[in-house]
Structure 1
Amino acid sequence: MDSIIFDLDGTLWDPRETVLTSWNRAIDEHPKVNKKLTLDDLKQTMGKQMHEISQIFFPELSEEDQKSVMDYLTEIEIPYVAENGGELYPGLEDTLIYLSGKYRLFIVSNCQEGYIEAFYQYHKLDRFFDDFENPGRTGLSKGENIKLVIERNGLENPVYVGDTQGDRDAARKAGVPFVYAKYGFGDVGDYEYEIENLADLKRHF
C-alpha cells in the first residue's frame, strides 16, 4: 500500500451542526422554500451529490429551482464552514501525523467546490494531504474522482476510507480496497477492512 484516500463527511469530521445552521439561514432568505431542515435530514443525505440532495429536500420544486436553491445554500455554506469549522473525530490529527509519515494522503468527497478548502481553512489540516477532488469541480462521480486522483498522482496501491454504501460502491468502481469507518453516518456490509475509530488506522496500516 502506498496511499490512503479519505472521504470527508462522516469519516474525518461531523460538519452537520455547522452545515445545518448555514443551510437554514439560506432557506430563510430564499423565496422559493418554506421549511426547516434537521440533523436527521442531513444524515440521510450524507455522501450524496448536491443534485441528489436537492431532489430529496425539495421534490416540490422544478429541476431549475432545485439548482437555484442548492446554489444559494452553497453560497452561504462555504464561507460559514470556513469560519466555524466542524467537529473533528477524535484522534484525527495524531492519526494523520502517523499516516502521513508512511503514506501519501488524499481526500475525495461528493461535495461542492470550495467545501474541502473550507475544511482546510478552518482546521489547518491541508499540510497532511497531497491532493483532493470533488464533483463540484469535475462533474464526475465519486468512483471516477477516485480514479482521477489515482491517475493524476501515480498511485499504485491505494485504499479508500469511507462510511457509506456509496463510498463502498465508489471504491469498487475505482478498483481499490475499501476501509469502512463504522463510526460514521452509514451502514455497509461489504468491505475489506473496518475501523471503530480513526486510531484503528494506525493498527491496520
Structure 2
Amino acid sequence: MAVIIFDLDGTLIDTGSIAVEAYRLVLSEFAYKPDEFPSEEQMLKTFGLPDTEIWDTLMPRHTPEEQMIGFERAGQRIDDEIRKQDILLPHAREVVQELHARGYTLTTASNCGKSYLDAVMSSQGIGHLFDRPLCLESVQGTRKSDILRALISRYGGGEALFMVGDRYTDRDAAAEVNIPFIGCDFGFGDVSELTGAIHLTKDLPGLLDYFA
C-alpha cells in the first residue's frame, strides 16, 4: 500500500486564530504597536513556511537572535493552546481513521518544530494513526524537501509515496524529490499554488475517493 504524507496546517489542522493571537502578543512584547502589526491575512499567509521565514516576516527590524526569541515565546503559547482545543479541520479525524483502516501508511512532513508536532499528535486523537511523523526540526533540515528525502530513505523505493498539502511549499518539495502531489484547495494557500498537482480536492473526504 502507498504511503500518504500529510502537511499539517491548512491540510489537517487549523491553528490560525491561536497563532495570530500569539504573534500579536509577542510583537507587543517587542514594542511593536498595533498599527505596525502585519494584517491577519499576512500572518496567515506565512503558514506552511519555515519558521525562520515566518519570523523574518513578522519581525523584520529585529536580528535573527531576537526573532528566535519571538519564535520560542509564541511557540510555547501556541503549543499550550493546541493541547486545550480541537484544531482538526472538518472530517480530518474520520478521514485519517478510514485511510489507516484501508491499510495506507500515514505520516507527516511539516515545516513546524518538534514541540508543535508533538502537541498536535498527542492532543487531537490521531497520533496513533501516524507512523513516526516528521517535521523540519526532526530532520534538522531547512526545506520541506529535506523531510521528504528522509521519508524516501525510510520507506525505500518499494512503496508509492504521495505528498498531500495546501501550499506551494508542499508542491515544490514533492516536485524536487519526484513524488506525486495532491493539492488541498481549502487551506491557507490559493489554487494558484497547487498547479502541477495530480489531483485537487475541495475537502478531506475527497481523499477517500482518490485513495479508494
How high is the TM-score relative to the length of structure 2? 0.87
- Retained in 2: the 8 A contact 1:43–1:185? yes
Q: What is the match of residue 66 of structure 2?
A: 65
Take 2:210 and 2:195, find their aligned partners in 1: how far apart are those partners?
A: 19
Within a 5 Å distance, the mapping from 1:99-114 to structure 2 comes to 99-101=99-101, 102-114=103-115
Q: What is the match of residue 160 of structure 1?
A: 163
Take 2:27 and 2:195, find their aligned partners in 1: how far apart are those partners?
A: 35
Within a 5 Å distance, the mapping from 1:75-154 to structure 2 comes to 75-86=76-87, 88-101=88-101, 102-140=103-141, 141-154=143-156
Q: Find the residue that maps to 2:151 and give its secondary structure.
A: helix
Give the 3 Å change call, closer, same or farther, for CA 27–85 of structure 1 in structure 2: farther
Q: What is the match of residue 13 of structure 1?
A: 13
Deviation of the 1:89 alpha carbon: 1.9
Deviation of the 1:85 alpha carbon: 4.1
Deviation of the 1:95 alpha carbon: 1.1
The Cα RMSD (Å) is: 1.8
How high is the TM-score relative to the length of structure 1? 0.90
Give the 3 Å change call, closer, same or farther, for CA 95–168 of structure 1 in structure 2: same
Deviation of the 1:32 alpha carbon: 5.2
- Retained in 1: the 8 A contact 2:139–2:150? no
Q: What is the match of residue 26 of structure 2?
A: 26
> Which sections of structure 2, spanning at least 5 residues, go unmatched?
none
Give the 3 Å change call, closer, same or farther, for CA 194–164 of structure 1 in structure 2: same
Take 2:33 and 2:154, find their aligned partners in 1: how far apart are those partners?
A: 43
> Which sections of structure 1, spanning at least 5 residues, go unmatched?
none
Q: Deviation digits for residues 4-60 of structure 1, max 9, x if unmatched? A: 0000001012110122223333334x3454444553132210110110011111111
Task: Judge which range, 181-190 or 76-85, deviates more.
Answer: 76-85
Q: Find the residue that maps to 2:114 and give its secondary structure.
A: coil
Give, as a single letter, the amino acid of the residue that structure 2 aligns with 1:41: Q
Task: Judge which range, 3-12 or 63-72, deviates more.
Answer: 63-72
Equivalences, count: 203
